[in-house]
Each structure stands twice: as structure tokens, then as C-alpha cells.
């Protein structure tokens, strides 16, 4: 009976700790505005979303038209260096499947799990900055995994702008676990 009560309490705790993905409205922009190279300035990220990026520095992405040739689909290559600017190069390629609303795609990683698709949303974008929010079901039953990525067209960004973009993301309710913002190290990455 004691074991049954303990399992019940644990089950309720797990359910109460889980989060649900938010569905923020995407920013208003043209597809070409998001293509090209973006440098990750920092992120707010659950453990599941951070697994492949653990110990990464020099993180950037490149967005380009998808090889599927479907209008508004895209491919995204996530790149980083392990622990140091001269560390092991790591990358993963994702596919962004257009949902009918610019700025909202379904992201999958065909080389890992092509059937697992998460919502990928560009929620803020300007000439030299973007904020991307992605969220999907965690495979470990710990609710949802989510990420908020603050990005720039250059490896550095004005700290006031970064703080503003983080705050706007928080104001949208995109960080229900109150995780910290973690800056991405770019020191010595691009000489």
C-alpha cells in the first residue's frame, strides 16, 4: 500500500511538472529573409533539446531551400565546435516542412528520426536578428522539450537587444520551466 501511494505521488509530480507547447504567432516576413547564416547568441533550452548541443561553442545555423523543392520548405544545418573553437566539428541537418503559414514549419531530423516532427516558429525577425522557438513531445515522458534561440547575422549582438529579445520571448510565455538564458561562446571562433 505504501508503494502504491508513493507511485501515485510520483505520477502526479511528473504530470504536474510537464509542460505544454505554446503556439506563438510567427513573425511577418518573407521566406528569403530567413535564409542564410545565423549565429546563435544564446538560448533557453530544456535538457532534451540540448542533448546534441552539450558543450558546444561557435554555434550557427544555415537555412536554405530544401532539396524537396516544395515551395517554402527549407533545410537547416546546425553546426558547432565541441568545447573550443578548434574542437571537433559537429553538425546535424534538419528539414523544415512548410505548414501554410510563413514562419511556422515542422522540423524533423531525417538521419535520426524522420517521423518525429516538432513545431518550429520564427517569432521575431529583423534585418540582423531572429528569435526561433521550437517545441515537441519529449521521448522521456518529461512533458515537452522546448528551445528559444536568440540569433544574429553576426557572431556578436548588442547586449541590450539580446536582453530585449529574451524578454519578449518570456512575455509570450515560452519558458514555463523558468530555465535560464545561456549565452553561446563565440570567442575565437571566426578569425
Q: For 79-128, how does the pLDDT look when each residue is reduced to its tens digit (9 = 90+)?
A: 999 999 999 999 999 999 999 999 999 999 888 888 889 999 999 999 99
User: Does residue 184 or residue 141 have the better pLDDT?
Assistant: 184
Q: Hey, CA dihedral for 48, 52, 57, 62, is it positive or negative?
A: negative
User: Any idea which residue has 571562433 for its cell?
Assistant: 189
- Residue 130 · residue 61 · CB < 8 Å: no
| Domain regions of the chain by residue span | 26-183
- Residue 47 · residue 64 · CB < 8 Å: no
- Residue 31 · residue 102 · CB < 8 Å: yes
Q: Is the pLDDT of residue 7 over 70?
A: no
The pLDDT > 90 percentage for the chain reads 68
- Residue 123 · residue 131 · CB < 8 Å: yes
User: Any idea which residue has 519529449 for its cell?
Assistant: 138
Distance from chain centroid for Cα 155: 17
Task: For the domain made up of 26-183, give the CATH fold.
Answer: Lipocalin (2.40.128)
pLDDT (average), residues 143-147: 81
- Which of 121, 78, 125 is CA-nearest to residue 99? 121
Of 33-37, 50-54, 100-104, the one with minimum mean pLDDT is 50-54
pLDDT (average), residues 175-183: 95
- Its pTM stands at 0.86
Q: Is the pLDDT of residue 51 over 90?
A: no
Amino acid at each position: 500500500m505504501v508503494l502504491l501511494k508513493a507511485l501515485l505521488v510520483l505520477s502526479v509530480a511528473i504530470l504536474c511538472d510537464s509542460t505544454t507547447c505554446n503556439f506563438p504567432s510567427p513573425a511577418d516576413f518573407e521566406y528569403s529573409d530567413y535564409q542564410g547564416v545565423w549565429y546563435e547568441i544564446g538560448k533557453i533550452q530544456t535538457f532534451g533539446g540540448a542533448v546534441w548541443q552539450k558543450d558546444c561553442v561557435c554555434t550557427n545555423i544555415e537555412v536554405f531551400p530544401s532539396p524537396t523543392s516544395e515551395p517554402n520548405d527549407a533545410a537547416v544545418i546546425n553546426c558547432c565546435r565541441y568545447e573550443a573553437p578548434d574542437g571537433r566539428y559537429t553538425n546535424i541537418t534538419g528539414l523544415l516542412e512548410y505548414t501554410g503559414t510563413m514562419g511556422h514549419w515542422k522540423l524533423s531530423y531525417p538521419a535520426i528520426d524522420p517521423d518525429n516532427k516538432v513545431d518550429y516558429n520564427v517569432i521575431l525577425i529583423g534585418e540582423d536578428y531572429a528569435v526561433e522557438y521550437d517545441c515537441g513531445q519529449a521521448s522521456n515522458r518529461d512533458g515537452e522539450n522546448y528551445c528559444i534561440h536568440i540569433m544574429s547575422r553576426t557572431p556578436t549582438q548588442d547586449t541590450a537587444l539580446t536582453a530585449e529579445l529574451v524578454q519578449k520571448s518570456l512575455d509570450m510565455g515560452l519558458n514555463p520551466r523558468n530555465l535560464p538564458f545561456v549565452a553561446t561562446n563565440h570567442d575565437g571562433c571566426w578569425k
